[in-house]
Structure 1
Amino acid sequence: MPQHASAVKRVRQSAARRLRNREHRSRMRTMVKRLLQTEDASVAKDLYPETQAYLDRLVTKGIIHRNKSAHYKSQISLHLNKVAR
């Protein structure tokens, strides 16, 4: 247990940040999974811009690394091209 006031505050801030980041990561994974599981081209086309924008937003906020975002965007665009055929 931290003894100094600043250390106590850092623990409190870290816990709040961890919960916030967990929510964002969970939503991101759900969006990507939903897009990858759909076989309907029109649904995939609707979900694609929303998912891509959310991934970019998480990179900007520093929640995920830009390479992870690029990996997910590559996966979903490949899936979109496959479904569109």
Structure 2
Amino acid sequence: MANHKSSLKRIRQDKVKALHNHYYAKTMRNAVRKLRAMTDKDEATKLYPCVQKMLDKLAKRNIIHKNKAANLKSSLTKYINKLG
């Protein structure tokens, strides 16, 4: 266990940040899941910019890796284009 006052504070801050990051990562995963479950191309096209913005923001804040965001956006675009 940490003995320094600053390291105890750092542990407390890390817990809060981890909880915050977990919430936003989970929200992103649910949005991607929702988009992949869609069968209507028009609805998926309307939802895609919102999901794309979310992915870019999370990548910018280092909650997810930038390449993961790029891969997800690419695969979602392919999925939307494939819809009839």
- Superposition pairs of residues 6-85 of structure 1, within 5 angstroms: 6-83=6-83, 85=84
Aligned-pair CA distance for 1:59: 1.1
Identity among equivalent positions (%) equals 38
Aligned-pair CA distance for 1:42: 1.2
State how far apart, in whole Å, the 2-side matches of 1:31 and 1:82 are. 19
- Segments ≥4 residues shifted beyond 4 Å: none
For structure 2, list consecutive stretches of 5 or more residues without a partner in the other structure: none
State how far apart, in whole Å, the 2-side matches of 1:66 and 1:60 are. 7
Q: Secondary structure at the match of 1:64?
A: coil
Q: Secondary structure at the match of 2:10?
A: helix
Aligned-pair CA distance for 1:40: 0.8
Aligned length: 84
State how far apart, in whole Å, the 2-side matches of 1:22 and 1:55 are. 14
Moved more, 57-66 or 19-28: 57-66
In the alignment, residue 19 of structure 2 is paired with which amino acid? L
Structure-2-length-normalised TM-score: 0.95
Aligned-pair CA distance for 1:80: 0.5
